[in-house]
Amino acid sequence: MLFSRTPAVRTREQLAIMRRAGRVVAEMHAEIRAAIAPGTTTAELDRIGRDVLACRGATSNFLGYGHPPYPAVICASPNSMVVHGVPSDRVVLREGDIVSIDCGAIVDGWHGDAAFTAPVGEVSDEARRLIEVTEASLDAAIAAMVEGNRLGDLGHAVESTVRAAGLHVVAGYTGHAIGQAMHEAPNVPNVGTAGSGAKLRVGNVLAIEPMVAIGTDDTDVLDDDWSVVTADGTWAAHAEHTIAVTPDGPEVLTRP
């Protein structure tokens, strides 16, 4: 399916299951968000994610993913870490930090995937604005998840929002179609030309996930082969939802 240029069309029955997976991810978000505070470790946040999955009879699409196999059910990426931060007892959140939390769940074989960035206590105006712009860029792309629009409209929505704010879209990482696998074709870039690319159809389900940095679009991967950091050490934020195109417009499956 990796060569496919158009996202799959899901039936109402399939969407109903994806909605359940999305709700589990939303619950992971709510529980983890409530636990984010100075002194919390990212390993504690991962344990909360595991508890929600177990409670809901869902499984993790992150645990064991890729090479080397991903060792946790969430990604927790503080400050200059963009995505794929591996939770650890040694990573203690401090007042003034920001942390990006990415969560996924599988319910009856169907996947949900979503991320948010939260302040830890009081943060700088610059950090708060970084988070706000990242969320606004995701909201702009969600608003474009309408039948007849094109994939390029989504990337254009993200890119234009981020650029207008004087921030940088992280290069080299994209969103993706999602269904019975977490990552399905096609990719959903965070940059694009309005009116270009595949046409969106009712039943398409995409994970849109802008990654935004203050100073650069360039990244490095740390020695753990997972953690992605900005090349210049400036802070980054990540926001993601799993969204369906419906006859009534976009439906965000990972929002409660």
> Is 211 in contact with 159 (CB distance < 8 Å)?
no
Stretch touching Co ion by CB under 5 A, among 93-101, 151-159, 160-168, 206-214? 206-214
Residue 15 to residue 29: CA distance in whole angstroms: 21
207 lies in the binding site for Co ion (CB under 5 A): yes
75 lies in the binding site for ligand MF3 (CB under 6 A): yes
Return left, alpha or beta for 10; rule: phi > 0 is left, psi -120 to 50 is alpha, else beta.
beta
Show the site string, 184-213: x = touches ligand MF3 by CB under 6 A, - = not: -----------------------x-x----
> Is 108 in contact with 17 (CB distance < 8 Å)?
yes
Shortest distance in whole angstroms from residue 175 CB to Co ion: 6
SS3 52: helix
Shortest distance in whole angstroms from residue 241 CB to ligand MF3: 11
Shortest distance in whole angstroms from residue 65 CB to ligand MF3: 4
66 lies in the binding site for ligand MF3 (CB under 6 A): yes
Instruction: Work out which of 46, 97, 113, 217 binds ligand MF3, going by CB under 6 A.
Output: 113
Closest C-alpha to 155, from 183, 177, 187, 131:
187
**Residue 13 burial (CB count, 10 A):** 8
> Which residues sit at the interface with ligand MF3, rule CB under 6 A?
62, 65-66, 70, 75, 84, 102, 104, 113, 207, 209
